């Protein structure tokens, strides 16, 4: 098999320049030594002239050969046999270079050169070039299949994306192929795997498409596993994303994350966790909304018929605070292992405050929480609305010190949100809303619960350490006629 030596150099590397005269001398006619330059034709020609070199030199167009062998440094000497690599020396290591060249029958005379010099970074290590090469490789491997949108040189990319209807009204990060390839590093899943089919028009959410939207939302690659799990959950039939989008009700998807990975990716479970400032929370929540818009085709006032909407429809995502929680992790409550990281999707309104700055025992606290829960949707509308209670740490401490787990807490809240039928019928208290007497009017002194069952009251611990506050999210219609919360495991990127 024919043996070949390939020397990769670049014009602005002093070590390459020092080595070139010896390479030039060895690259005589018929020699198996090829000199390949990473620099462009003009720079290479100027160098050859300056050093009075006569050997032929190849320009590594598009850095194809460099990308194939992927050296960290130049100069690099490769020994090839039948085109396959049999050995290499990166940088100037005088003795090893001489030995390697000898294996191809080439005598390199390196006397007078230093024994060791590390060389310079290969051009393929320039971050911008490395990113472009990664895109080229991804396309060649079929990992990047989205069609291109080319924004003209005189267009502002932010305005261009807005005009194409691809944003939520705020600027997005332009999804260049380089950014999408980098985002795909956040998952080990194949980029063409289908995560879900997104209503209302049934667009296919591949991992790649989700990654494009995650870039736009402002995610980092480590956030991607959360976005993938959220999209998967939202597309699950019993979550009823189509109905949730199309309803006049203000609810939208809320992502609640639980587990050890939440901290690793920088999610906020503490102060202001439902508000602004935390990139992970905001970007993960926003990614889901961009997926609904761009892959599902759901847009406000068209497919999305919400009468008012609410801020959470730009994106709503927070993490559970396990430290100091009265309860086991939400993952466990939802049927997963306590140490797994999951996301749970709820069809939620905007959160409301339940304040209690006086209660010091769990019964008293639950009495206040129950009053807040009673008002979900309408105080006299019962059984079809679920709720998610976000217990702040100062409230949570009361439950924790009393040893109340979720079951005990739910039991108390169910009892305290049970009403006398007569008080919640249509017309009671002067309000025409309420229970239909045709269905419930039989016994006005009978009892009727607010919630269809204890598990319909979601419970999660989160928030800042100071403040005797909890928050309640009312839900869209629940169960068979509406949406059921869905939980998915988050698969880590390593």
Instruction: Spell out, one character per residue from 108 to 147, where the chain touches other proteins: x when CB under 8 A holds, - when not.
Output: --------------------xx--x-----------x-xx
Q: Which stretch binds other proteins (CB under 8 A): 151-159, 266-274, 309-317, 373-381?
A: 151-159
Q: For the packed helices 224-235 and 279-294, what is the interaxial angle rounded to 10 degrees?
A: 40
Continuous H helices in 239-392: 241-246, 260-264, 279-294, 330-333, 362-374
* CB of 303 or CB of 491, closer to other proteins: 303
d(CA 253, CA 292): 10
CA distances 109 to 53, 101, 112, Å, are 16, 10, 9
246 binds other proteins (CB under 8 A): yes
* CB of 61 or CB of 111, closer to other proteins: 61
63 binds other proteins (CB under 8 A): yes
What residues between 450 and 479 interact with other proteins by CB under 8 A?
A: 477
Strand partners, 435: 425
153 binds other proteins (CB under 8 A): yes
Contact with other proteins (CB under 8 A) among 6, 73, 198, 486: 198
Task: Write the DSSP string, 341-361.
Answer: -EEEEEEEEEEEEEE-SS--S
213 binds other proteins (CB under 8 A): yes
Q: Which stretch binds other proteins (CB under 8 A): 208-216, 326-334, 335-343, 374-382?
A: 208-216
247 binds other proteins (CB under 8 A): yes
228 binds other proteins (CB under 8 A): no
150 binds other proteins (CB under 8 A): yes
Strand partners, 302: none
How crowded is residue 167: how many other Cβ atoms within 10 Å of its Cβ? 18
303 binds other proteins (CB under 8 A): yes
Query: Shortest approach of other proteins to residue 46 CB, angstroms?
Result: 19
∠488-490-492 over CA atoms, to 5°? 160
104 binds other proteins (CB under 8 A): no
Contact between residue 119 and residue 20 where contact means Cβ atoms under 8 Å apart: no
Query: Shortest approach of other proteins to residue 63 CB, angstroms?
Result: 6
Contact between residue 374 and residue 457 where contact means Cβ atoms under 8 Å apart: no
235 binds other proteins (CB under 8 A): no
Query: Shortest approach of other proteins to residue 107 CB, angstroms?
Result: 35
Q: Which stretch binds other proteins (CB under 8 A): 14-22, 72-80, 211-219, 252-260?
A: 211-219
157 binds other proteins (CB under 8 A): yes
297 binds other proteins (CB under 8 A): yes
Residues 6+ apart with CB under 8 A from 152: 160
Contact between residue 455 and residue 302 where contact means Cβ atoms under 8 Å apart: no
Total site size for other proteins, rule CB under 8 A = 51
Query: Shortest approach of other proteins to residue 240 CB, angstroms?
Result: 6
305 binds other proteins (CB under 8 A): yes
* CB of 79 or CB of 212, closer to other proteins: 212
436 binds other proteins (CB under 8 A): no
Query: Shortest approach of other proteins to residue 476 CB, angstroms?
Result: 8
CA distances 162 to 157, 159, 172, 174, 180, Å, are 9, 5, 9, 11, 19
Query: Shortest approach of other proteins to residue 179 CB, angstroms?
Result: 9
Place of tokens 């989160």: 462
Contact between residue 405 and residue 411 where contact means Cβ atoms under 8 Å apart: no
C-alpha dihedral sign at 137, 138, 139, 141: positive
Strand partners, 353: 471
Q: State the Cα torsion 462-463-468-469 to the nearest 10°.
A: -80
Shortest CA distance to 330 belongs to which of 102, 178, 486, 138? Answer: 486
CA 190 from centre of chain: 15
Contact between residue 304 and residue 246 where contact means Cβ atoms under 8 Å apart: yes
* CB of 177 or CB of 259, closer to other proteins: 177
243 binds other proteins (CB under 8 A): yes
What residues between 319 and 378 interact with other proteins by CB under 8 A?
A: none
Query: Shortest approach of other proteins to residue 324 CB, angstroms?
Result: 38
Contact between residue 374 and residue 450 where contact means Cβ atoms under 8 Å apart: yes
Strand partners, 457: 387
* CB of 85 or CB of 237, closer to other proteins: 237
Task: Write the DSSP string, 380-445.
Answer: T--SSEEEEEEE-HHHHHHHHHTT--HHHHHHHHHHHTEEEHHHHBTTGGG-S-SB-HHHHTT-TT
Q: What is the number of alpha carbons within 13 Å of residue 101 lying toward its C-beta?
A: 24
212 binds other proteins (CB under 8 A): yes
62 binds other proteins (CB under 8 A): yes
Contact between residue 257 and residue 267 where contact means Cβ atoms under 8 Å apart: yes
Instruction: Spell out, one character per residue from 159 to 188, where the chain touches other proteins: x when CB under 8 A holds, - when not.
Output: --x----x-------xxxx--x--------
* CB of 60 or CB of 394, closer to other proteins: 60
Binding site for other proteins (CB under 8 A): 62-63, 128-129, 132, 144, 146-153, 155, 157, 161, 166, 174-177, 180, 198, 200-201, 203-205, 209, 212-213, 216, 240, 242-243, 245-247, 290, 294-295, 297, 301-303, 305, 477, 480-482
């Amino acid at each position: 098999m024919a043996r070949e030596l390939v020397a990769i150099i670049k014009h602005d590397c002093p070590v390459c320049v020092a080595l070139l005269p010896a390479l030039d001398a060895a690259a005589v006619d018929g020699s198996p030594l090829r000199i390949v330059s990473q620099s462009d034709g003009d720079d290479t020609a100027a160098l050859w002239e300056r050093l009075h070199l006569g050997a032929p030199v190849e320009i590594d167009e598009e850095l194809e050969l460099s990308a194939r062998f992927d050296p960290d440094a130049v100069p690099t000497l490769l020994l090839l046999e039948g085109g396959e690599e049999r050995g290499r020396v990166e940088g100037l290591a005088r003795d090893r270079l001489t030995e390697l060249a000898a294996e191809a029958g080439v005598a390199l005379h390196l006397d007078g050169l230093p024994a060791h010099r590390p060389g310079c970074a290969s051009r393929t290590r320039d971050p911008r070039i490395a990113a472009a090469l990664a895109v080229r490789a991804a396309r060649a491997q079929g990992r990047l299949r989205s069609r291109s949108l080319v924004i003209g040189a005189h267009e502002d990319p932010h305005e261009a994306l807005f005009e194409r209807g691809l944003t939520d009204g705020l600027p997005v990060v332009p999804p260049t192929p380089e950014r999408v390839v980098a985002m795909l590093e956040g998952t080990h899943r194949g980029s063409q795997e289908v995560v879900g089919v997104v209503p209302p028009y049934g667009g296919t959410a591949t991992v790649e498409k989700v990654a494009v939207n995650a870039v736009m939302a402002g995610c980092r690659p480590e956030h991607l596993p959360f976005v993938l799990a959220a999209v998967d959950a939202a597309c699950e039939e019993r979550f009823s994303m189509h109905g949730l989008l199309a309803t006049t009700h203000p609810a939208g998807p809320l992502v609640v994350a639980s587990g050890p990975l939440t901290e690793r990716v920088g999610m906020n479970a503490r102060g202001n966790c439902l508000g602004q400032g935390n990139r992970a929370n905001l970007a993960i929540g926003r990614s889901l909304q961009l997926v609904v818009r761009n892959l599902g085709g759901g847009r406000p006032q068209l497919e999305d018929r919400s009468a008012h909407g609410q801020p959470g429809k730009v994106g709503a995502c927070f993490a559970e605070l396990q430290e100091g929680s009265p309860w086991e992790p939400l993952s466990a409550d939802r049927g997963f292992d306590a140490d797994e990281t999951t996301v749970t999707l709820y069809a939620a309104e905007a959160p409301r405050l339940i304040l209690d700055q006086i209660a010091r025992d769990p019964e008293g606290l639950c009495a206040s929480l129950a009053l807040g829960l009673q008002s979900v949707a309408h105080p006299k509308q019962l059984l079809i609305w679920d709720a998610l209670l976000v217990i702040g740490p100062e409230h949570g401490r009361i439950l924790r010190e009393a040893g109340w787990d979720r079951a005990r807490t739910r039991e108390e809240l169910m009892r305290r949100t049970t009403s006398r039928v007569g008080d919640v019928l249509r017309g009671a208290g002067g309000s025409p809303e309420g229970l239909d007497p045709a269905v419930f009017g039989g016994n006005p002194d009978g009892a009727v619960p607010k919630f269809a069952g204890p598990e319909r009251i979601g419970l999660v611990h989160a928030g800042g350490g100071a403040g005797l506050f909890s928050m309640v999210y009312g839900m869209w219609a629940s169960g068979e006629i509406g949406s059921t919360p869905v939980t998915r495991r988050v698969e880590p990127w390593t």
